[in-house]
Chain A
Amino acid sequence: MTVPALLLHLLVFPGLLFLVSWSLALEWVDRKVAARMQSRVGPPPLQPLADFVKLLGKEVIQPGGAGGRVLGLAPLLSFASVATAFLLLPVSGSSPLGFQGDLVVALYLLTVPTVALLLVGWSSSNVFAAVGGVRAVTQMFIYEVPFYLALLGPALLAGSWSVSGIVEWQAGRPWMGILQPVGLLVGLVGLQAKLERTPFDIPEAETEIVAGPLTELTGRRLAVMHLAKDALLAAGCALLAALFLGGPLRPFSAALPGAVEGFLWFAAKTLLLLLVLSTMRAATARIRIDQLDAWGWKVLCSLALAQMALVPFLASWME
């Protein structure tokens, strides 16, 4: 890859510029869909951007006794991690930056925002933020195990630890979502928990702990944290789309399509996954952390393990 091409890839497509606009667009779709389900009008398309710009211009308030450096850096760290992970995912074709093991790297990078939330909550010197931060990490320990198990299923079956490699394996074969439907389901639920959306918005439960870890974030810190959350939504959907729905692949096609067609397929699959996530958000109430604990380990984790156990049989059957 030449230097200009690399820069273009990092900064424009599918890098920074695309990621920001794509994330804000997904946020709009999510808000609009949920609003229509709740018989509300919903926001206009540019509302997420307007919110972001407005927050950027707001005063940053530093609470007394809070760790200013952590509050300032954690949102940037979150966004940077998610943006890096997004570069490894196939958007219009195989990612040129991909390598064997990039799946593991992406999964680790996508965990950073949660850890950042703990740091923010802990150093906010605010009891709601602290409780929220602890809840965020508690929740992480519950959903990460089944989420990872579900996402490693495709890797094991394809025999590749590269996201793009798994996509290429699916070309000409049934998609992983058809071979491992339970894995897709667990992955979706895990992603919803990772994004801290209803019914898993326990760390940010407005009526209980105000805004959780975000309580003391203001101005551009809050703006970047929200952006990181949106980017996580985009990256999470892209990851699931690549692992289970063949990413940029056209259905029933053995070859990777051209860049434009590949992107359209990627976008369609992302929106489909988002629709499921939005519906889940609109159709449920928030559960309690103890209920998530019980359900996550007993049901979600067992399902993921069962799916894993089927992978060797699937592999021998495929051959």
Chain B
Amino acid sequence: MAEVLVPIGPQHPALKEPVSFRVWADGEVIVRLEMDVSYNHRGIEKGAEQRDFHRTLPLLERICGICSHSHTTVFAKGIEALMQVEAPPRARAIRTVVAELERVHSHLLWLGVAAHEVGFNTLFMWTWRDREAVQDVLEALTGNRVNYGINAVGGVRRDWPPDLVSTALDRVAPLGDRVRLYADMVAREKTMLARFTGVGKLTREQVLAYGAVGPTARASGVDYDVRRDDPYLDYARLPWKVITDDHGDVLGRTLVRVGELHESLNMIQVLLRDLPPGEIRAKVPRTAPPGEFLSRYEAPRGELVHFLRTNGTDRAERVDVRTPTMANWTSVAMALRGRWLADIPVIVAAIDPCLSCTSRVSLADPEGRDRGGMTWDELREHGIRFYAEGRHER
């Protein structure tokens, strides 16, 4: 059969944000693909150079609608380090709680999306219903459901009275049982297992070579988690462990995320039961001395990096954002080749792509001749190997 071009995106039911895959398929098997990860440019990096630190924070919050707290926290912690101030313990605890709640709602969202991509709408509805509960807690605690606006340079903007904290605890507690139910469903539902097992397989070596991060990397046995490797906020004093898995496929990524849900829920409860007293915001100078700081953060999707440069004024000289999705694209492109057309949605969804993060500095690239920044020959070679594997698995 002749190769046909299947355009997936920029508008497609499988995609929640604009990205374009131009997929050449031989019948149902992907032969090669080109990727275009743009369409969402808002010029945020340029904008961040033109505002003072306090006005940059709300701007960065709008990089992403899911991991909004990640972007403000990683920036605030970098600027605080450059200013040589430290957020008070209570502020750090509050930031950690919001960060973990964000991870819970992001992973629940992901679980639903992954189920929806393989047509399992029941799980999709169930997880999103529980995600509502998390968002209600976030709204009660911060005042907002999406862009929480809790962070400030030097601390947080809102203190939590004890009754609010106990209400939040009551609402978070039942979620553990729900997550256990989903873990059970993922492990036992045959049709879902059939769609997740062996799909989007990446070995440990491939993950490292392609620079994948977060649950995508940890599902292939790569033991990187910034929360432990470069501890920030309260992670060093909290009881938790890094979840890894050695399946290396979509099932592995699911198991890692479900495991992280348990860890996060546990951390939230430990923190909320024993919030440190005291101030919530340190006094910070207006300007930051010249310097540079590589601020790393474990966002729900993986390692988020802001490379910050200050020049002695009240504005950053450079905020260079590397989002987890940006790091994961190369691995996606490699995992897709030689797979079935039907696997595209679930493999792409498995890295939990956040396109508005990735293309915050992007406009459009309809040509997109290069796929994943690899050479033709390399791609061809990988393609042949993956193709052979795909054939073999049939």
Contact = CB atoms under 8 A, between A and B. Distances in A.
A2 interface: no
A39 B342 contact: no
B120 A205 contact: no
Nearest to B393: A290
Contact of B394 (A128, A208, A290): A290
Nearest to B117: A207
Nearest to B113: A207
Nearest to B390: A290
Contact of B119 (A39, A205, A289): A205
Nearest to A198: B119
Interface residues of B, number: 33
Contacts of B4: 127, 130-131
Contact of A208 (B14, B120, B121, B126): B14
Interface string A16-49: 0000000000000000000001111000000000
Contact of A286 (B13, B25, B120, B126): B120
B118 A127 contact: no
Contact of B13 (A201, A202, A210, A287): A210
Nearest to B349: A207
B121 A38 contact: yes
A38 B119 contact: no
Nearest to B348: A207
Contacts of A40: 125
A316 interface: no
A199 interface: yes
Nearest to A293: B394
B123 to A, nearest CB: 8
A201 B7 CA distance: 21
B342 A208 contact: yes
Contacts of A127: 4-7
A142 B117 CA distance: 23
A34 to B, nearest CB: 8
B192 A285 contact: yes
Chain A interface category by residue count: 20 to 34
Interface string B1-14: 00011110000111
A287 B119 CA distance: 9
Given A198-B119, A290-B394, A206 B13 contact: yes
Interface in A137-164: none
Nearest to B4: A127
Contact of B345 (A135, A207, A290): A207
Nearest to B25: A131
Contact of B115 (A131, A199, A285): A285
B340 interface: yes
B227 interface: no
B125 A288 contact: no
Nearest to B116: A207
Interface in A181-228: 198-199, 201-202, 205-210
B191 interface: yes
A66 interface: no
B146 interface: no
A282 interface: yes
B225 interface: no
B84 to A, nearest CB: 49
Nearest to A283: B122
B126 A38 contact: yes
A210 B344 CA distance: 13
Contact of A201 (B117, B119, B125, B190): B119
A165 B391 CA distance: 48
Contact of B191 (A38, A205, A208, A286): A286
Nearest to B11: A210
A287 B345 contact: no
B41 interface: no
A127 B195 CA distance: 23
A284 B120 contact: yes
Contacts of B7: 127
Nearest to B346: A207
B345 A289 contact: no
A262 B119 CA distance: 38
A282 B394 contact: no
B344 A208 contact: yes
Given A38-B125, A207-B13, A288 B119 contact: no
Interface string B101-136: 000000000000001111111100110010000000
A290 B13 CA distance: 22
Nearest to A288: B342
Contact of B343 (A131, A201, A288): A288
Q: Which 6 A-B pairs have the closest CB atoms?
A: A286-B119, A285-B120, A207-B14, A38-B125, A285-B191, A207-B345
Given A38-B121, A201-B119, 11 more contacts: A127-B5, A127-B7, A131-B28, A205-B119, A209-B341, A283-B122, A284-B189, A285-B118, A285-B120, A288-B340, A288-B343
10 contacts: A38-B126, A127-B6, A127-B7, A131-B6, A205-B342, A206-B14, A284-B191, A286-B195, A288-B195, A290-B28
Interface of A: 37-40, 127-128, 130-131, 135, 198-199, 201-202, 205-210, 282-291
